[in-house]
Structure 1
Amino acid sequence: MTSLPVLDIGPFLADESTAAASEFVEQLRDTLHGPGFCYLVGSGVDPERESAVMDVARRFFAQPDELRLRIVNTNTPHFRGYTRLGMEHTNGVSDWRDQIDIGPEHEPVDPGPDDPTWLRVRGPNQWPDSVPSMQPTVTGWMDEMATVGAAVLRAIALGLGQPADYFEPTTTPHPEVLVKIIRYPAQDEHTDTGQGVGLHNDSGLLSFIMQDDVGGLQVQIGDELVDATPMPGALILNIGEMLQIATDGYLRATKHRVESPPPGRERISVAYFYNPAMEATFEQIPLPTELAGAARGAENERPGDVIFANYGDNWLKFRVRSHPDVAAIHHPDLVGTFD
């Protein structure tokens, strides 16, 4: 495979009962069983809103450090806000990107001794006063993307022989979405590791990527790395490890990475992750016989790395691993717990 498949969700969004919608369901199932990545077109998300999100992202990253650091993620225990260059890690190696993490707005919680540990990370976002249009622009886009995320999950359920609303209990009372607004600057030629973000699997349910016109995203198909070349009007769609485990490997969380851009360029992308509610426990999906026979096993490649059935526990694990500086300041008792 030298390029990713292109799937049109438009007919499914228009009417799930049509033959065209059924064709999309089959294409999606086969794609997520095979390469695990695709271009998704026909999402119905307002192109002007997408452009506005990219615009506020560029305005934020164009600011001096002083303004960006006003919302640095070490300000709070909630893993929200601005991550400085090189301060997020993949496979223990520093990624050369900076970003803003945004999620659902919550009041902070002071967990009691019998409450789940993941409640510590529930709280408010940090928004930049210096780019006041970012909050309404991004939250408006998130609202539109929630519709797309719910529709894709319905299509996956149908493709796996389940009722369309099969996953709704796992996203109740609300899905735990995460938006990452990411900049990948070029690296200095003398210290260039090439790693914008290292090779990894996503951890939750669904991932959507909106890219600018600078390439760099690569998907591992077999032994090859396939470029996910930017396509105007298309989102990149892939799944995370929780769907892989729940289908015993019938659906695959495919590894991918981002290469740093060439000198003189920078890459902007916006990732939207549609995940179970923190409270949800994700159970095995009872696959039809013909699909179960094609499942390849969901064993984790990292010995001893437990994938928890409860999503909040997984979320906490990946946050602590990825942002050791936040963990050291606000959650010192958890440092090293998930290594």
Structure 2
Amino acid sequence: MNAATLPIISMDSLDSAEGLAKLRHAASDVGFFYLVDHGISYDSQQDYLRLSREFFQLTSQQKQRVDMIRSPHFRGYNGMGSEMTAGRLDAREQFDWMNEEQAIPEVKLTQPWQKLIGPNLWPSAMPQLKPALTSLQQRLSGITVNLLQKLCMSLGVDANALDHTIGEQPYTHAKLIRYPGQESPQQGVGAHKDPGYLTLVMQDTQSGLKVERDGDWVDVAPIPGAFVVNIGELLELASNGFLKATNHKVESPKQGVERYSIAFFMAAQLSATVPVLPLPDELRARASGPSTDPNNPLLTDVGNNVLKGRLRSHTHVTRRHYCQQTARTLLANSFAQMPITDICNECTI
């Protein structure tokens, strides 16, 4: 078993004051922790990781049939060099899926983020993928909602303080990810913070995930059966900076080795606005406000905050689906006050 490089939190411990205090410390001091006793067995995790390997072993033609370029909702397959983080291409391939929903007709769009709503793309060559990943999505959603409520309790506010931002179910986004080996170290995914409430990561046995702590990059060694959890920007915002969204990245494995992981991102509904929680005086005095990046400002309206990240990360999809006049007008109205980064010759965001 690999040595832990982050705090280890047991879900079973979170019914006690001691367990909640440990959770609060991990979420505020580090922003990352291992989660155990979460209800998804090691064997079940291995089944999902095997399914992920099967998907990436499909032929290029089979994967291209569900390429993200076909989806204005940013769902589907991305080949190597299709996603950017911090302005640089990532050395990974992945498959993205989100909540299964019906797309809103173009003429009925009133906000640009509404274009994110829609169906997933599923490969006909793997009919077992949709039911398996939909089931995983539901299970991880339940874990994150429970964990979010425990985090609220650890902050001294009502467990259900953020439930109204979630509604019947949270907004979720998940990825199957493959990092192929490289001759020299490369950016598997560049340094970034996650935009939502919580992220769960299921790792295989290969290391590569690194967390920034005090200016150094700490390796997050895989622990069998444990999820890696990190705090997202929406929770940093809701806690006025008491909880920390932490920079993290993945370095590509060495040549001859592959790394597989499954990442699950949980956030408020796209239509929600995130409130600032009424923390007790002691915690409020230690909250320094959310961190700011002038090149990537954090927005309290969830939909536009999510869309901003998608537009910048998947510029090929942006050019294909967000350069029509209707979409461009909506984008201009919603992001008029933001610093801009070139997406294409005519569109900026």
Using the size of structure 1 for normalisation, the TM-score is 0.92
Q: 1:283 to 1:80 in 2, by over 3 A?
A: same
CA contact (8 A) 1:279 1:312 kept: yes
The residue that corresponds to 2:257 in the other structure is 265
Q: Report the secondary structure of 1:141's partner residue.
A: helix
Q: Distance in 2 between matches of 1:205 and 1:127?
A: 26
Q: Report the secondary structure of 1:203's partner residue.
A: coil
Q: Distance in 2 between matches of 1:338 and 1:202?
A: 22
Q: Paired residue for 2:225, among 214, 233, 237?
A: 233
Answering whether residue 291 of structure 2 is matched by residue 299 of structure 1, we say yes
The residue that corresponds to 1:286 in the other structure is 278
Q: How far is 1:128 from its partner?
A: 1.1
Q: Report the secondary structure of 2:234's partner residue.
A: helix
Q: Distance in 2 between matches of 1:128 and 1:273?
A: 22
Q: Distance in 1 between matches of 2:267 and 2:234?
A: 9
Answering whether residue 154 of structure 2 is matched by residue 162 of structure 1, we say no
1:119-171: CA deviation from partner (whole Å, max 9, x where unpaired): 11100001111122111111111111111101110111101111111111010
Q: Distance in 2 between matches of 1:207 and 1:251?
A: 14
Matched positions, count: 328
CA contact (8 A) 1:111 1:119 kept: no
Q: How far is 1:111 from its partner?
A: 4.4
Answering whether residue 197 of structure 2 is matched by residue 205 of structure 1, we say yes
CA contact (8 A) 1:173 1:277 kept: no
CA RMSD of superposed structures (Å): 1.7
Answering whether residue 85 of structure 2 is matched by residue 90 of structure 1, we say yes
Q: Report the secondary structure of 1:182's partner residue.
A: strand
Q: Distance in 1 between matches of 2:63 and 2:95?
A: 10
Q: 1:338 to 1:148 in 2, by over 3 A?
A: farther
Q: 1:148 to 1:114 in 2, by over 3 A?
A: closer
The residue that corresponds to 2:337 in the other structure is none
The residue that corresponds to 2:181 in the other structure is 186
The residue that corresponds to 2:315 in the other structure is 324
1:6-44: CA deviation from partner (whole Å, max 9, x where unpaired): 1111243xxx4xxxx322211111111101111100001
CA contact (8 A) 1:321 1:338 kept: no
Q: Distance in 1 between matches of 2:61 and 2:209?
A: 30
CA contact (8 A) 2:193 2:248 kept: yes
Q: Distance in 1 between matches of 2:207 and 2:52?
A: 17
Q: Which ranges in structure 1 are unaligned for 5 or more consecutive residues?
A: none
The residue that corresponds to 2:67 in the other structure is 72
Q: Report the secondary structure of 1:238's partner residue.
A: strand
Q: 1:217 to 1:310 in 2, by over 3 A?
A: same
Using the size of structure 2 for normalisation, the TM-score is 0.90
Letter in 1 for 2:211: V
Q: Distance in 2 between matches of 1:114 and 1:229?
A: 44
Q: Distance in 1 between matches of 2:49 and 2:204?
A: 8
Q: 1:225 to 1:304 in 2, by over 3 A?
A: closer
CA contact (8 A) 2:42 2:224 kept: no
